[in-house]
Structure 1
Amino acid sequence: MFTPFEDLDALLADLIGSAREILGRTFVGAYLQGSFALGAADLLSDCDFIIATNVLPSGTAEAQLRRLHDEIPTRPGHWPKDLEGSYADTTSLRSAAGLGTPWLFSNHGSRDLVWDTHCNTLHTRWILHHHGITLAGPPITDLVDAVDPEAMRESMRTALPKVMAGLRTWARFEMAWTQRYTVTEYCRVLYTLRTGRVASKRGALEWAREHLDQTWRPLLTQVIEDRALGWVPAEPPRPGSLETSYAFAAYAESFAR
């Protein structure tokens, strides 16, 4: 068993088998990161994977992977639309020296693979090295070096002032889901800034509720309790919660200084 969900395990086994067949000798291994690796996954979580290769997919292999990921979200069930991950070459996966290298990326729910740096982060490497789940291939610690905690903190100092601008490029702020996601994202950044480690979404929220100014406790409690509501596009934020979230964002960004 890879996960607590039998249907997800079957999907992952199929993905790995198909990827191994397509990639041939360039296939190295398959791994889970994200909330499943952190032990905090539930039915609201994406299933984040990394498939390691000797070289980045190209030519026939890339075309076949594109066909595979075009088909997977059309399958029945919950998880085919919630797989998310990248095909990463072992050279750029190894350490922070590989940051900036685009990997072939599958966004959850999307039928298109894109070349993107979405998974190519220090966070991904930290989770993989400390908590990654090996689905196939050698232990992930053979492929990914430990990440310097101060490098983690410095990346969050750099990222913190840009969080809201980044969210505005894709998120709809008239949705309750976005209000919750915004608060959660700031909590995750602050957790790493303080500790040099990575927490799950819920773990970061609970840490923030315990350690940040108690003024924010009602907001953080609301986000924790409402997370179970999931993605409902027509659901507006609770009255006043969006304004409070903006104030929390300004408070969080002050830590970058």
Structure 2
Amino acid sequence: MFTAFEDLDTLLNDLIGSVRAILGDTFVGAYLQGSFALGAADLLSDCDFIIATTVPPGGTAEAQLRRLHDEIPTRPGHWPKDMEGSYADITSLRNADGLGTPWLFSNHGSRDLVWDTHCNTLHTRWILRHHGITLAGPPIADLIDAVDPEAMRASMRAALPEVMAGLRTWARFDMAWTQRYTVTEYCRVLYTLRTGKIASKRRALEWASEHLDPHWRPLLAQVIEDRALGWVPAEPPRPGSLDATYAFAAYAESFAG
């Protein structure tokens, strides 16, 4: 058993078998990161994976992977539409020298693979190194060097002023989900800025409630309570919660200095 969900384990076993057959000798291993690795996954979580390879997939292998990931989201059940991950060559995966290298990426619910740096972050490496779940292959810690906590802090310090601008490129702020996600994202950035580590969404919110100005506790409690509502596009933010979120964002960004 890899996870607490039998149907997800079945899907992961099938994915590993299919990918092994496609990649052949270039397959190194398969791993879980994200919420599952951090021990905080539930039915609202994505299943974040990394497939390690000796070289980036290309040619026939890339074409076959594209067909596989085009088909997976069409399967019945919950998890086929909640898979997200990348095919990372072990050279660029090893350490921060590989940042900026695009990996073949499957976005949440998408049927297309794209070359993207979405998973190629210090954040992903830290989770894999400390908490990654090995599905197949060698222990993931053997493939990734230790991540410098100061490098983690520096990356969050640089990211903090851009959080809201980044969200506005893809998220709708007339949705309750976006209000909750925004507060959570700032909490996760602040947690890493303070500790040099990564926390799950809920743990970051709890940490913020414990360590930030008590003025924000009602907002943080609302986000924790409402997370169970999930993605409902027609649901507007609670009255006043969006203004509170914008104020919290300004407060959080003041820590960038």
The alpha-carbon deviation at position 28 of structure 1 amounts to 0.2
Look up the match of 2:162. Answer: 162
Identical-pair percentage: 88
Q: CA deviation at 1:237?
A: 0.1
TM-score if structure 1 supplies the norm length? 1.00
The residue number in structure 2 matching 1:249 is: 249
Per the alignment, residue 127 of structure 1 pairs with: 127
Match status 1:39 vs 2:44: no
Runs of 4+ in 1 over 4 A off after TM superposition: none
Query: In the alignment, does 2:108 pair up with 1:112?
Result: no
1:48-127 matches, within 5 Å, as: 48-127=48-127
Secondary structure of 2:235's partner?
A: coil
Q: Which amino acid aligns with 2:122?
A: L
- CA distance in 2 between counterparts of 1:38 and 1:157 reads 23
**Structure 2 residue matching 1:28: 3-state secondary structure:** strand
Alignment partner, residue 239 of structure 2:
239
Query: Letter of the aligned partner of 1:202 in structure 2?
Result: R
Q: How many residues align structurally?
A: 257
Aligned to 1:138: 138
Structure 1: which 5+ runs fail to align? none
Show the counterpart of 2:25.
Answer: 25
User: 1:180 offset after TM fit, Å?
Assistant: 0.1
Cα deviation per residue 1:149-174 (whole Å; 9 max; x = unaligned)? 00000000000000000000000000
The structural deviation recorded for 1:82 is 0.3
The structural deviation recorded for 1:53 is 0.1
Residue correspondence of structure 1 range 8-19 to structure 2 within 5 A: 8-19=8-19
- How far the C-alpha of 1:108 sits from its partner, in A, is 0.9
SS in 2 for 1:86: strand
Matched to 1:85, the amino acid is: G
**Counterparts of 1:210 and 1:127 in 2: how far apart (Å)?**
23
Q: CA deviation at 1:87?
A: 0.2
Partner SS state of residue 84, structure 1: strand
2-side partners of 1:143 and 1:30: how far apart?
12
* Alignment RMSD: 0.3
How far off its partner does 1:221 sit?
A: 0.1
Q: Distance in 2 between matches of 1:109 and 1:134?
A: 23
